[in-house]
Amino acid sequence: MTTPAAVLVDAAAYAVAVETATKAAAAYYATGESALDDDAYDRLARGIAAYEAAHPDEISADSPSGKVAGGAVVGDVPHTVPMLSLDNVFGGDEFTVWAASVERRIGRPVERWSVEPKLDGLAVAARYEEGRLARLITRGDGLAGEDVSHAIGMIMGLPDRLTEPVTLEVRGEVLMTTDQFEQANTLRTSHGGTPFANPRSAAAGSVRAKDRPYQVEMTFFAYAALPISDTGADLAASLAALPHGEVLTYVAGLGVHTTAGTTVPPRTVTDAEAVRVRVEEIAALRAELPFGIDGIVIKADAAADQLAAGSGSRAPRWAIAWKLPAVEKVTRLLDVEWNVGRTGTIAPRAVLEPVEIDGSTVAYATLHNPNDITRRDLRIGDHVMVYKAGDIIPRVEAPVAHLRTGDEKAIVFPEVCPQCGSEIDTSEQRWRCVRGRNCHVVASISYAAGRDQFDIEGLGATRVVQLVDSGLIADIGDLFTLTREQILGLDRMGETSTDNLLAAIERAKGQPLSRVLAALGVRGTGRSMSRRIARHFASMELLCAADEAAMQRVDGIGVEKAPTIVAELAELAGLVEKLRAAGVNMIEPGATPPSDDPAASEDGEVAAPGGPLDGMTVVVTGAMTGPLEKLSRNQVNELIERAGGKSSSSVSKRTSLLVAGENAGSKREKAEQLGTRIASPDEFAELIAELLDDSDSAADGADGAGGDSAAAAGR
Ligand code: IVH
């Protein structure tokens, strides 16, 4: 879909447009943040170009047209060869017109097109001397960039040493994957900083930051390589003669990261129609990618075609960026809601004028914490930039201050807990009701009863409200001492439903420690972390006795998380005791308690040695069928771990098996590329048949999952 160009009616409108675009480009290249979203910038830039075409004698010297980085200048290290930008097309028809113009220019059909994702990050040139990474330079204005060698070591995919002692420059994009972005934000906010607005500005800011007290991880993707002055003549000649696709294969062979290992590797195709098909494929995979792309780059693959087409001062004539719809949009902030979570945290949420981003309508976005609202000086009625891509929860980036009318209103912070009226503990960044998890008991009990925790069928939110309102329960512990008479006394509770509920509660007592832990809702842990903790400690007793050092021996718990978890468990001690007294299982079946020796204790984490998936890393994707059909993803992951395997959510070289159900998308493609073993849900069910029998019996009302002597010992 092509976005229309802005219409500039006169010289005054042109002057304003040039100033707005220049400021936005300068801000974008300095910090990665800008008051204009990509669509708006593109519309403005095309409006400026159209005005200039109609009024060639009025062109301003400040105009961004034809300049790399819209004329924003940064850096003083000259580039060996200019780092050019790319011209854009916004759809298939524009692409066809462009491709025909290239073929007209070179006087023959383009031999092959290379099609690859346009990575949404920061362009850098990495200079390798005799195989060692010597210097890292940003693109700057294309002619000279900034030396950012201090960032070497923080960027995955740019090795310190290549596999061969060659001298060359690798060019590519530095960005943050979704995981790296989350980690960087956790680190940054724990140091009192404002969360990064989006992965691109997080990478741009982090590559250039020199004096941060913390280090964040980023990822490099190479898209080009070229000789530098002392590159040997042989290598220089062969690099110049290689088709683009083979250049990428060559740098990947040297150990530099490219998109080759992703679900959207570079592909070469022979005609414009095949380009369109491949563009559609990449666009369809965009939402699932673990990194941001803002388009697709199409390049004439053969060196001879590139040479014949040549380059302009801003962009090569043999390559084009096919832009995808922007993942950032400007909309209005209508209100801020304050929601109390099940652990008592009070989180602000932005209510937005609904806006379509990346194929879905966004009406709410996260606002992190009150401090963050203050730091950003957000006001009700503001125009705000909203970011949403793939799996990332929509977030408000920043107010667009120059669009303010003066009618914006201050955001009112709650003075008491919006749920229960108690005081608010504001000592930490995240505010919390002083009653903690006792504040929103309905939410915490409903969560605890959920399918992946205690799995108490018949205990939905309405019933929990009834039980809480009638004073029968005040926490999850009280559930386990409810009597038949008490339940029968409730409205709309007959004998059968009462007995069913009591039976479900009785079954819940046998759930493994991992689920009891998940039900407690320990802050800083989710379902998979609860499983890891339970496997590591094997019993609630050992877990509750663990200090911070012992906690850090669990895979995935570091210095930041350990103190929170230890403090949370101390806060929960009374509730744990209540559960134990009521007969709830406190043991993880099949797990071995850690020994005192920290090195040996690692063994405690090895799941069910001798199980059918012993030592395997298993990823599950797509819809499960056959014997696995009724299981939640969490339940399938539990089975994997009980069978001795490790469950993981993404396919990598370390994945031993992919269980691919119906509609398995990019994970299956990636596994195929890597040659990973793939099993259907039925084949997998057969592999773990012995355990499936167990879990059936759990569902039928026997002991908890795995219901062995270890579980019984915990009663
Ligand atoms: S090729 C001479 N390939 O997009 C060729 N650029 O908007 C120039 N980019 O400056 C670049 N992914 O920073 C190329 N696969 C890719 C890319 C890519 C992202 C960036 C690059 C470029 C900008 C232009």
pLDDT of amino acid 653: 84
Confidence of residue 712 (pLDDT cuts 50, 70, 90): very low
Residue of 74, 139, 223, 294 to test ligand 1 pocket, by largest number of atoms within 8 Å of CB: 223
pLDDT of amino acid 368: 86
Average pLDDT over residues 329-340: 96
Helix axes 513-520, 527-537, angle to 10 degrees: 130
Task: Write the secondary structure of 146-193 as one string of H (helix), E (strand) and C (coil).
Answer: CECHHHCCCEECCCCECCCCCCEEEEEEEECCHHHHHHHHHHHHHCCC
301 and 203 part of one domain: yes
Spacing, Cα 244 to ligand 1 middle (Å) = 13
* Residue nearest atom 23 in ligand 1 by C-alpha distance: 85
Q: Which atom of ligand 1 has the smallest separation from the CA of 116?
A: 15
Among 547, 574, 600, give the residue marking a domain's end: 600
Give residue 296's region: left, alpha or beta (phi > 0; psi -120 to 50).
Answer: beta
Residue 607 lies in a domain: no
CA distance 196 to 188: 8
pLDDT of amino acid 6: 83
Under a CB-based contact definition with an 8 Å cutoff, are residues 296 and 321 in contact?
Answer: yes
Residue 452 lies in a domain: yes
* Residue nearest atom 9 in ligand 1 by C-alpha distance: 118
Under a CB-based contact definition with an 8 Å cutoff, are residues 402 and 384 in contact?
Answer: no
Burial of 407 (0-12, 13-18, 19+ CB in 10 A): exposed
Number of C-beta neighbours around residue 545 at 10 A: 11
Helix axes 633-642, 527-537, angle to 10 degrees: 20
pLDDT greater than 80 at residue 480: yes
pLDDT in tens, 79-95: 989 999 999 999 999 99
What DSSP designation does 369 have? -
Residue 4 lies in a domain: no
Residue 611 lies in a domain: no
CA distance 44 to 40: 6
Q: Which atom of ligand 1 has the smallest separation from the CA of 117?
A: 15
Under a CB-based contact definition with an 8 Å cutoff, are residues 455 and 501 in contact?
Answer: no
pLDDT of amino acid 9: 82
Burial of 547 (0-12, 13-18, 19+ CB in 10 A): exposed
Under a CB-based contact definition with an 8 Å cutoff, are residues 297 and 223 in contact?
Answer: yes
Confidence of residue 634 (pLDDT cuts 50, 70, 90): confident
Count the residues in the chain: 715
Q: What is the dihedral sign for C-alpha 87, 269, 238, 135?
A: positive
* Residue nearest atom 16 in ligand 1 by C-alpha distance: 118
Residue of 174, 297, 306, 324 to test ligand 1 pocket, by largest number of atoms within 8 Å of CB: 297
Among 20, 39, 71, give the residue marking a domain's end: 71
pLDDT greater than 50 at residue 699: no
**Which of 76, 83, 88 lies closest to 225, judged by CA?**
83
Q: What is the dihedral sign for C-alpha 27, 33, 35, 40?
A: positive
CA distances from 114 to 296, 300, 335 (A): 10, 6, 47
**Which of 483, 553, 543 lies closest to 512, judged by CA?**
543
pLDDT of amino acid 277: 96
Number of H helices, E strands in the chain: 27, 25
CATH code, domain with 395: 2.40.50.140
Residue 347 pairs with which residues in a beta bridge? 339
* Residue nearest atom 15 in ligand 1 by C-alpha distance: 118
Among 460, 492, 508, give the residue marking a domain's end: 508
337-351, 615-629, 647-661: which is most confident: 337-351
Spacing, Cα 320 to ligand 1 middle (Å) = 9
CATH code, domain with 62: 1.10.287
* Residue nearest atom 5 in ligand 1 by C-alpha distance: 84
388 and 457 part of one domain: no
693 and 709 part of one domain: yes
Under a CB-based contact definition with an 8 Å cutoff, are residues 619 and 649 in contact?
Answer: yes
pLDDT greater than 80 at residue 122: yes
Per the model's pLDDT, the better-predicted residue between 504 and 492 turns out to be 504
Confidence of residue 398 (pLDDT cuts 50, 70, 90): confident
CA distance 544 to 695: 27
Confidence of residue 698 (pLDDT cuts 50, 70, 90): very low
pLDDT greater than 70 at residue 246: yes
Spacing, Cα 605 to ligand 1 middle (Å) = 44
517 and 628 part of one domain: no
Spacing, Cα 88 to ligand 1 middle (Å) = 11
Residue 321 pairs with which residues in a beta bridge? 88, 297
What DSSP designation does 258 have? -
Number of C-beta neighbours around residue 181 at 10 A: 26
Least confident of 9-18, 231-240, 563-572, 604-613: 604-613
Rg of the chain on CA atoms, in Å: 29
309 and 336 part of one domain: no
pLDDT of amino acid 29: 64
279 and 243 part of one domain: yes
Which are the contacts of 577, defined by CB distance < 8 A and separation ≥ 6?
none
95 and 175 part of one domain: yes
Residue 264 lies in a domain: yes
Give the annotated binding-site residues for NAD(+).
Answer: 38-42, 85-86, 116, 139, 173, 299, 323
Spacing, Cα 118 to ligand 1 middle (Å) = 6
Mean per-residue pLDDT over the chain, rounded = 88
Query: Which stretches does DSSP call E strand in 555-621?
Result: 617-621
- Residue 245 tokens, joined: 């696709």
CA distances from 380 to 353, 356, 394 (A): 11, 20, 18
Residue 606 lies in a domain: no
pLDDT in tens, 494-540: 999 999 999 999 999 999 999 999 999 998 888 889 999 999 999 99
Average pLDDT over residues 670-698: 80
- Residue 461 tokens, joined: 């939110």
The number of angstroms, rounded, from the C-alpha of 237 to the middle of its chain's C-alpha atoms is 41
182 and 140 part of one domain: yes
Got the DSSP string for 329-359?
A: EEEEEEEEEEEE-TTSEEEEEEEEEEEEETT
**According to DSSP H, which parts of 191-232 are helical?**
199-208
CA distance 659 to 666: 13
Residues catalogued as catalytic: 118
CATH code, domain with 451: 1.10.150.20
Average pLDDT over residues 677-688: 91
Number of C-beta neighbours around residue 637 at 10 A: 23
Residue of 84, 86, 87 to test ligand 1 pocket, by largest number of atoms within 8 Å of CB: 86
pLDDT greater than 80 at residue 28: no
pLDDT of amino acid 659: 94
pLDDT of amino acid 176: 96
pLDDT of amino acid 487: 96
532 and 568 part of one domain: yes
470 and 392 part of one domain: no
What DSSP designation does 539 have? B
Residue of 173, 220, 251, 296 to test ligand 1 pocket, by largest number of atoms within 8 Å of CB: 173
Give the annotated binding-site residues for Zn(2+).
Answer: 417, 420, 439
Spacing, Cα 298 to ligand 1 middle (Å) = 10
**Which of 642, 614, 633 lies closest to 681, judged by CA?**
633
Tell me the residue range of the domain where 20 lies: 11-71
**Which of 224, 283, 328, 304 lies closest to 1, judged by CA?**
283
Spacing, Cα 6 to ligand 1 middle (Å) = 25
pLDDT of amino acid 710: 32
66 and 177 part of one domain: no
pLDDT in tens, 166-220: 999 999 999 999 989 988 988 888 787 888 889 998 999 999 998 888 889 999 9
% residues pLDDT > 70 (the chain) = 92
Confidence of residue 252 (pLDDT cuts 50, 70, 90): very high
Spacing, Cα 8 to ligand 1 middle (Å) = 29
- Name the pairing type of β-strands 132-138 and 122-129: antiparallel
The model's pTM is: 0.68
Spacing, Cα 232 to ligand 1 middle (Å) = 26
* Residue nearest atom 21 in ligand 1 by C-alpha distance: 123
Query: What phi and psi, each to the nearest 5 degrees, are found at residue 401?
Result: -60, -35
- Residue 362 tokens, joined: 């966004």
Number of C-beta neighbours around residue 144 at 10 A: 18
**According to DSSP H, which parts of 341-494 are helical?**
370-376, 441-449, 461-469, 476-479, 484-488
Give residue 212's region: left, alpha or beta (phi > 0; psi -120 to 50).
Answer: beta
Torsion of CA 695, 502, 532, 155, to 10 degrees: 100
Spacing, Cα 245 to ligand 1 middle (Å) = 15
Residue of 68, 88, 119 to test ligand 1 pocket, by largest number of atoms within 8 Å of CB: 119
Ligand 1: residues within 6 Å at CB? Answer: 84-86, 116, 118-119, 123, 173, 223-224, 297, 316, 319, 321
pLDDT of amino acid 705: 32
98 and 126 part of one domain: yes
**Which of 481, 477, 451, 479 lies closest to 466, judged by CA?**
479
Number of domains the chain is built from: 6
pLDDT of amino acid 188: 87
Task: Write the secondary structure of 264-299 as one string of H (helix), E (strand) and C (coil).
Answer: CCCEEECCHHHHHHHHHHHHHHHHHCCCCEEEEEEE
* Residue nearest atom 14 in ligand 1 by C-alpha distance: 223
Residue 6 lies in a domain: no
**Which of 584, 574, 582, 579 lies closest to 436, judged by CA?**
574
pLDDT greater than 80 at residue 694: no
* Residue nearest atom 18 in ligand 1 by C-alpha distance: 118
- Residue 536 tokens, joined: 């590591």
Residue 612 lies in a domain: no
pLDDT of amino acid 601: 41
**Which of 218, 227, 222 lies closest to 252, judged by CA?**
222
CATH code, domain with 705: 3.40.50.10190
Burial of 211 (0-12, 13-18, 19+ CB in 10 A): exposed
